[in-house]
Structures are given as structure tokens and as C-alpha cells.
Amino acid sequence: MNTSIGARLAGLVKSPTFATWSSFATKAASFVVLYPFVLRGYSQADIVFWLAVSLPGSMLAVVDAGMTPTAVRFFSYGLGAEGKAGQEPGKELWAIDAVVGTVRRIYLLLTLACFVLAGGMALWIASNQAPSASYSAGWALMVLSVTAYFWNFQHQAWLQASHRIAELRFRETKVQTSALVLSTILAMARVDILSIVMVNCGTLLVLVHLHRRSVLRGVHGETWKGTALFDRRIAGELYTSSWKSGVGIAMSYGLNQGLCAWYAATASATAAAQFLLTMRLLQVASQISQAPFYTKIPSMASSYARRDLQAVVEISRVGIRRSIWVFVVLGLGLLAILPVLLPLTGSKTEIMPPLWMAVAVLAIALERCGGMLVQAYTVSNVVHWHWLNTLVAAFAVGVAVVSWPGLDVLAIPVAWAAAMLLVYVPVGYGLSQGLFGRRAALELLSPSVPALLVLLFCLAVVALWPLVRA
């Protein structure tokens, strides 16, 4: 019995999925442990600064432009090609030192772009806040740490390709947990908000050092220490494989984070704090809900490689059902609990009104539904994120601009919900139908229907509740 328990624990320690969940859990714990002290003990200006200073870091995926997942594939390919010669179907066997050298050179250029974007965003937001020496120091430190962390993406990609995901994520969990404890102690003591920002920035720099040291001390460490061998052919392959995903990320996640930065820079301190806090909570809920589906992508890809489309559909259906219901539970939980919980903590910042939150939860649920349908189709290695996300973003922006005079800030979730319902989900269903057939596409869509109906019912209750009380 003890042997069996020990074996299971050992398996969990080596499990990439469990390690990823532990990292998510640490991030989610900050809302329970740290946020109440910050929201209760600091001014609105401090809270806006604390929430806004993380926005440039959230834009790293946009600067990355799909390069890191592409680098993971190329690193894996190069490692798998060692000792072989000739050709793989559809792909030349690149030497691993040439792949490493090319990726290193590309990340030098991308890191420069990251510094410019992070610095520009920091100046934009900071110039609209009340002047403060501590704020200026915090923004400068954030730009430097975020830039260093982005440069370190290449090392994280290497660790993933080397099947060291569990090591990578558990390291993040330990460092982030230590930072959470220290930040909470500082918040309880109500020290200057800059101290908490310094802890967050220091956490990034510590992870940069630990990830790089792990790479240099591992197999092929000498390759990473040597002179970069840039290969234009490999660079071309990397660019061809990543740009479509990059455009898709920029038109979805990038637009979302850019919207947060715009609101932080233009709204009042009270309104900006309210908006940023709500968006942060909903984004974490969305990230947590993705794991049940996205951890199944390797199995889906393997089944597709065997041309077993029914297996792909079944694996996808299970992942979609679990993912959508996880988000529904988390979203409705936030909608029901936060209006009651935040006042009890003495928070000086409220969340957005219930109607705004309900529409935002519905919009994210629709996005999860459409995104998973498109991702199931993408196992065929045909990528449509570039044009699809651009179309969705253009539609959403148009709806927001037209409806803003009448709805004000409510126009933001309304526009996203409309774009997801009228564009994203139908296109995702159409792509799935083209690959798997009509019946299978309905099987993929069906798990989301009950969850979306529950959300629509709750949305109706939230919308009608003021009338009932009156």
C-alpha cells in the first residue's frame, strides 16, 4: 500500500500536467492571500499602479508572436534528429547547434522589441497617473525585469523540448510561493507599494537566473555558451511557422491587454482600479479552465497522425465539456461571491457591476467554446488564427465603437460577446464540420450548449433582478 502511494506521489512530481496546475494554483492563491490586504490597505492610486504595472508583462505573448511554441517544436526536432541523416517527411533534419544559434539570434531582436513595447506602455500609463517617485522607479524596474524575462523565453522553450516541463513549472511554483509569502507580509505591514512591486520584479529575475543555469548545466549546455550559429534557412522556417499564430495572438489577447492599458491610462483611478481588478480575476479563471482541454492536444495530435478522426473527436469532446464547465463554475462563483466578499475584507476597490460581469463571463465562455473548436481543427496543422482572430477583433471593435455612446464601459463585454457568438463560434463549428463531418462537429459543440444556457439564464436573472427588487 505504501509503495503504491509512494509511486503515485513520484508520478505526480514528474507529471507536467500536475506541475502546470501547481503553478496556476500559486497564481490563484494570490487572490485569496495577497489581494485582500492590498485592496484594504492602500489608496486607489496605489492599487491602480500595482495592477497596471503588470500589464506590459501580460503583453509578452504578443511580442513573442508565436515564436516560443515554434522554437519548442524546432528544438524537439533538432534533438530527435541527433545521430540521424537524411530527411524526415516534409522537413529537413537541422543540426541542433544551428537551431540553438538561430533561436538565440532571433530572441535578441525580439527582446529589443519587448523593451520598446514595455517601455512605451509604461510611459503611456505612468504619464496619466499622479506623479510619484516610487511609481517611476517601479515602472523602470518592471521594464527591465520584464525584458529580461522575455529574453529567457528561449531557455524555457529548451526545457520544454527537453522534456523538463515538470522541473520548469515546479521551480516556478516554489519561487512564486516564496514571493507570495513575502509580498503578503509586506502588504500586512502596509509598507510602500513599491516594495511589493520590487518583490514581483525580483521574482522574474530569479527565475531568469535559475532557468538559464538549468540550461547551461544540462545536456548541450556548451552549445548555449558558444558562439551563435545563425542559419537563414532555419530562421525562415521559424518565421513561416510562427507568424500566423503571432497575428492571431495579437488580434485576440493583445487587443484585450491593450484595452486594459488604454482604460488604465484614461479612466479615473477608481474606475481603472475597478476595471483592472475584475479583468485580472476573469483572466485567471479563463486560464485555469483551459487546462482540461489543452493538456489533451498531444493525444489529439497523435490520434490525427494515425488518421483516427473519431478518437480526435472523442478526446476533444471530453476536454471541451470539462473546460467549459470549469469556467462556468468559476465565472458564476466570481459573480456570486465577490460582491459579498470584497466589502467584508474592507476593500477600497469594488468589482465591475453585476451586469457587466455577467456579460463578460458569457463573452469568455463563448470565446472558450469557439477557441476549442478551432484548436480541434488545428491538429490538422492547418492554421487559421491570423485571419479569424483579425476578423473577430475588427467586428468587436466596430460593435464597441457604435454602442459606446449608449452603453459606456458595458460596450466592451457586449462587443466581445457579439463577436464570439456571431463570428468565432460559427466559424469554429464550420471548420470542425469541414474536417470531421457534420455529426462529429455537433458532438464537439454539444457539450458547450448546456453550460451556455446556464450562463444565459444567470445573465437574465442579473439583468432583471433590479426590476424585481423595485
61 vs 169: CA distance, rounded Å: 18
Cross-strand pairs, 248? none
313-370 confidence digits (pLDDT tens): 898 998 899 899 989 988 888 888 887 777 776 776 778 888 888 899 999 999 999 9
Give 4's pLDDT tier (boundaries 50, 70, 90).
low
Q: Is the dihedral of CA 454, 459, 464, 469 positive or negative?
A: positive
Using CA atoms, how far apart are residues 366 and 24, in angstroms rounded to an integer?
Answer: 22
Task: Residue 447: count other Cβ atoms within 10 Å of its Cβ.
Answer: 20
Q: pLDDT per residue over 355-409, tens digit each?
A: 888 899 999 999 999 989 988 887 776 767 778 888 888 898 899 889 999 988 8
- Averaged pLDDT of the chain: 79
Question: Are 363 and 417 spatial neighbours (Cβ–Cβ below 8 Å)?
Answer: yes
**83, 89, 92 from 86: Cα distances, Å:** 10, 10, 8
Position 468 confidence tier, pLDDT thresholds 50, 70, 90: low
Q: What's the pLDDT at 209?
A: 93
- CB-CB contact of 469 with 342 (8 Å): no
Report if pTM > 0.95: no
**Contact assessment for residue 458 and residue 332, using Cβ atoms and an 8 Å cutoff:** yes
The percent helix, strand, coil of the chain (3-state, each to 5) is: 85, 0, 15
- Residue 90 confidence (pLDDT) above 50: no
> Is 140 or 74 the better-scoring residue by pLDDT?
140
Better-scored residue on pLDDT, 83 or 66: 66
Average pLDDT over residues 263-285: 79
In angstroms, the CA 122 to CA 88 distance is: 46
Residue 87 three-state SS: strand
Given a cut of 90, is residue 47 above it in pLDDT? no
What separation in angstroms does the CA of 34 have from each of 28, 135, 189, 337, 391? Answer: 10, 20, 12, 17, 38
pLDDT score, position 402: 93
